[in-house]
Structure 1
Amino acid sequence: MQKQILSVGFFLLSLVLPLKVSAQNYDEIYVFGDSFSDTGNVFHFTSGAIPPKPYFNGRFSNGPVWVEYLASELNLTFNPNTNFAFGGTTTGVDNIGLSILPGLQQQISSFTTANNSANPNALYVVWAGTNDYLDYFLGNIPNPTNSVANLSAAITSLTAIGAEDIMVVNLPDLGKFPVTGGDTPSSNEFSTLTSAHNSSLAASLNSLSQQLSPDINIIPVDVNYLFNQAIANPKKFGFTNVTDSCIGDSPIVPIDISPQPVVCIPDEFLFWDEIHPTTTTHQLIGELAFAALLRASVPEPSVVLGVLTFALSAISLRKRFRFPSR
């Protein structure tokens, strides 16, 4: 898409704020996670079978995913070779899509084994957990304590080889995802699990921040808040539907590689399929992540509040006036 009002606004803010974040600070982004961040790993592994059309170029969405938008905000060219995220990944060693594919622990282990030292000028992204809870559909009982322990282990492993700036994303309320089918008991169960996961994750990140070296910067991204705001106020974000999916079932749970018809205007939907966001939603997540980087670089609480307020206002304006695509 064209440069958005939000991007212009952040540029203006950069002229007056002592920001740590810039293209000069980060020369690369390394990504570990699941289908929310996968830019084609499952697609290439399955020779283009998963995800099928009308999914976009191997993404589990109808366009670029959030880490690509974040890279753009940082004036970086996204490098798929530094993205280790696979659709179906859990925080442990399992993959609920194809068992031969890696979980988060294998992704991290593969990276740390191949790299004796991490690039201190790179941003490291960790976002996983959704599939730990979707595993409930396969008869397994999720355990938020174990999931968060896995995430903490991943972060610690990255810092052990020199990673300094690590972005960690929490979970949106899975009880509000179309995959629950509007079933109230299931929705409540998933909402409870999400809340337990996010509370435990926040506590764990706080603890790690105190235990690790002062050079380590853990950057939390509250995507849960973003989704809740979009669901509560869809018009503010330009959405007309925040409960249904645009094209139906996900090709991950269960695996379904048959093409799906597009029966909606994707930009007006929060969800592309029953699990995955539309690229419009991904762009909002990318902008939220960029705002989190700005917040992490500005210590004054009043300024932080101003940045976040500006970000939400700019997102609202961007959605309202709909800039053309590029």
Structure 2
Amino acid sequence: MWTATAAPRAQAATDFQRLYVFGDSFSDMGAGYLVSNGPTAVGYLATRMNLPFTHSRDKNANSESIDFAVAGGATGDDPGKLAKGYLLEVGMIRQVQDFAARVRNKSITFDPDRTLFFIAGGANDDNVPLDVSVGNITRQIEMLTSLGARHIELALLPTRMPDFAEEGRRLNPAYEKLVPALRAKLGIDLRFSHWGDYFDEVFTHPEAYGITNTKDPCAYTEIFGGKGGPTCTDPGKHFYYYSEHPSTEVSKLVGDKLYEEINARR
């Protein structure tokens, strides 16, 4: 049984020595497939935090901050599948279990007071009942807490990007209720991240960020059913690099906003 304790205070981004991420293609840095032309938002967040950061399949990963996110991952415990040599759709519970196994065998050690855990997922739960998605996220947070996690952020999802708006509108209200409930129950520093809102901000006000195309992808990939075609010459002006997936230029904007958000909470 969980016993509520006093939650630790929020930390500034520069106070953290480690960052661990769980999620889907919007965060994947190579554990599955990097669906962009460069780092995802969490990669840029790690850079701003001055943290060496790599994906979970890197053989040297355990000594650094790690991105466990896998493209196509839903919130559950799907073992994933191989597609053209890439392991995709590994569920987020499986990702957390991977982290847990490394902690238990002492491949990973971390200082709970100086480590940030970032959970960003649910956009691939389109065929998953709401209570199951919320239960999956709850299980992830409780598993991390049992391993010593004290600082966790749960990302709200985009609601203005057409391909993911429905899931964001469905899940965000549940996430907004879940965070304070689990914070009180577990006694940890559990907070929202406005990660999805930041993507929405860039998508709905592209001109403010030098983006002129919010409709057409810059490039195509067979991994996700792309039919091929020439790559655009100006990816920085496209919101999407691949279909439904933001360019690294957009991700940098979001990563910078994430960094500012964490610092503002101190």
Q: Normalising by structure 1, what TM-score?
A: 0.66
Higher-Rg structure is 1
Contact persistence 2:161–2:203 (CA under 8 A) = no
1:87 aligns with 2:71: yes
Say if 1:224 and 1:31 are closer, same or farther in 2 by CA, change over 3 A: closer
CA deviation profile, 1:155-200 (whole Å, cap 9, x unmatched): 11101111111122121137523xxxxxxxxxxxx53432111111
The equivalent of 2:111 in structure 1 is 119
State the Cα distance separating 1:22 from its structure 2 match. 4.6
Secondary structure of residue in 2 paired with 1:261: coil
Contact persistence 1:221–1:288 (CA under 8 A) = no
- State the Cα RMSD in Å: 2.5
The equivalent of 1:209 in structure 2 is 183
Instruction: Give the alignment partner of residue 283 of structure 1, picking from 229, 247, 252.
Output: 252
State the Cα distance separating 1:263 from its structure 2 match. 2.2
The equivalent of 1:273 in structure 2 is 242
Secondary structure of residue in 2 paired with 1:156: helix
State the Cα distance separating 1:118 from its structure 2 match. 5.0
Say if 1:169 and 1:75 are closer, same or farther in 2 by CA, change over 3 A: same
Instruction: Give the alignment partner of residue 61 of structure 1, picking from 22, 33, 36.
Output: 36
Instruction: Give the alignment partner of residue 41 of structure 1, picking from 31, 35, 52.
Output: 31
Secondary structure of residue in 2 paired with 1:244: coil
Instruction: Give the alignment partner of residue 230 of structure 2, picking from 244, 248, 261.
Output: 261
Say if 1:288 and 1:244 are closer, same or farther in 2 by CA, change over 3 A: same
1:21 aligns with 2:24: no
Q: 1:200-239 alignment to 2 at 5 Å? A: 200-213=174-187, 216-239=188-211
User: Which amino acid counterpart does residue 12 of structure 2 have in structure 1?
Assistant: V
Contact persistence 1:152–1:205 (CA under 8 A) = no
Task: Tell me which moved more, 156-165 or 230-239.
Answer: 230-239
Say if 1:108 and 1:198 are closer, same or farther in 2 by CA, change over 3 A: same
Contact persistence 2:220–2:231 (CA under 8 A) = no
The equivalent of 2:138 in structure 1 is 152
State the Cα distance separating 1:61 from its structure 2 match. 0.6
Contact persistence 2:76–2:91 (CA under 8 A) = yes
The percentage of counterpart residues that share the same residue type is: 28
Counterpart Cα distance in 1 of 2:115 and 2:222 = 32
Counterpart Cα distance in 2 of 1:264 and 1:21 = 38
Secondary structure of residue in 1 paired with 2:152: strand
Structure 1 stretches of 5 or more lacking a match? 1-18, 44-58, 134-140, 178-189, 298-326
Contact persistence 2:39–2:248 (CA under 8 A) = yes
Secondary structure of residue in 2 paired with 1:263: coil
Say if 1:260 and 1:36 are closer, same or farther in 2 by CA, change over 3 A: farther
Say if 1:106 and 1:145 are closer, same or farther in 2 by CA, change over 3 A: same
More strand by share: 2
Secondary structure of residue in 2 paired with 1:115: helix
Counterpart Cα distance in 2 of 1:292 and 1:277 = 20
More helix by share: 1
State the Cα distance separating 1:145 from its structure 2 match. 2.8
CA deviation profile, 1:112-142 (whole Å, cap 9, x unmatched): 1331475312111111112222xxxxxxx33
Say if 1:130 and 1:235 are closer, same or farther in 2 by CA, change over 3 A: same
Aligned length: 239
Structure 2 stretches of 5 or more lacking a match? 1-9, 56-60
The equivalent of 2:165 in structure 1 is 191
State the Cα distance separating 1:229 from its structure 2 match. 2.3
User: Which amino acid counterpart does residue 169 of structure 2 have in structure 1?
Assistant: S
State the Cα distance separating 1:224 from its structure 2 match. 2.9
